[in-house]
Amino acid sequence: MNKQLIAVIGGSFNPVHNGHIAIGEAVNQALQVDKILFIPSYIHPDKGRAHGASPCNRIRMLQLAIKDHPGWEVSDIEYNREETSYTVHTMERLSKIYDNAQLYFVCGADIMYTIHTWRDPYRLFQLCKFAVVQRPGYTTESFLKQVDYVRDQYNGRIDIIECDQVDVSSSDIRYRLCNRLPVEGMLPSLVMEYIEENGLYNICPGDES
């Protein structure tokens, strides 16, 4: 039996935006995966408690954003842990849930320079392949040397996927929303409707009182 191919895309998704969707589409096209799991973190290791939408709201926005993409799913595996989210812990759990699958961890190119600071990178590379998303034209010789170094250091399996990434970030969207600035083209339409209906991101940091 052939192994099921599953790509894992994690993050705060606070909120999910068109850049996340573009990455999913690029991964799907490059790897021909059977499933893409979007996993919102309960507490991101580098960000602490996410400012803005609750985990429940972020999960719902993800569900709306991917509803027209067959094989794309939202997992609450990190939200249910209610503790700091480390990728190696998540991949450990997923490897047990999908015991006949090849897991791909989708990440940005910058991770190739910081993976040594992550929790148990040796174990992480045992659990999954890495799908490194890079902008077209940025796959330079120096970058490829760094990827080869990481491969050698951790016996890692790494694929490079070029993606025309949308120049947008969740933090910029939050800033724009709380300051009543336009966000056209940054968010899936159903996500924007959900944000408006639920009054999300309408208070700027420092204005809570």
The pTM of the full predicted model, rounded to 2 decimals, is 0.92
Asked if residue 198 belongs to a domain, the reply is no
Q: Annotate the chain with DSSP letters as a single string.
A: -PPEEEEEEEE--TT--HHHHHHHHHHHHHH--SEEEEEE-SBBTTTBSPSSS-HHHHHHHHHHHTTTSTTEEE--TTGGGTSB--HHHHHHHHHHHTTTEEEEEEEETTHHHHGGGSS-HHHHHHH-EEEEEE-TT---HHHHHHHHHHHHHHT--EEEEE----S--HHHHHHHHHTT---TTTS-HHHHHHHHHHTTT-S-TT---
Residue 1 has what pLDDT?
A: 65
Asked if residue 73 belongs to a domain, the reply is yes
Residue 55 has what pLDDT?
A: 84
Residue 162 has what pLDDT?
A: 92
Asked if residue 200 belongs to a domain, the reply is no
Asked if residue 175 belongs to a domain, the reply is no
Two tokens at 208? 């809570």
Asked if residue 183 belongs to a domain, the reply is no
Residue 82 has what pLDDT?
A: 67
Asked if residue 57 belongs to a domain, the reply is yes
Residue 54 belongs to domain spanning: 4-167
Residue 207 has what pLDDT?
A: 54
Residue 135 has what pLDDT?
A: 87
CATH number at residue 20: 3.40.50.620
Residue 48 has what pLDDT?
A: 42
d(CA 116, CA 118): 6
Asked if residue 188 belongs to a domain, the reply is no
pLDDT in tens, the chain (209 residues): 689 999 999 999 999 999 999 999 999 999 999 999 999 987 554 554 446 788 889 999 999 999 999 999 999 998 877 677 799 999 999 999 999 999 999 999 999 999 999 999 999 999 999 999 998 888 899 999 999 999 999 999 999 999 987 789 999 999 999 999 999 999 999 999 999 999 999 887 755 43
Domains contained in the chain, number: 1
CB 43 within 8 A of CB 79: no
Asked if residue 90 belongs to a domain, the reply is yes
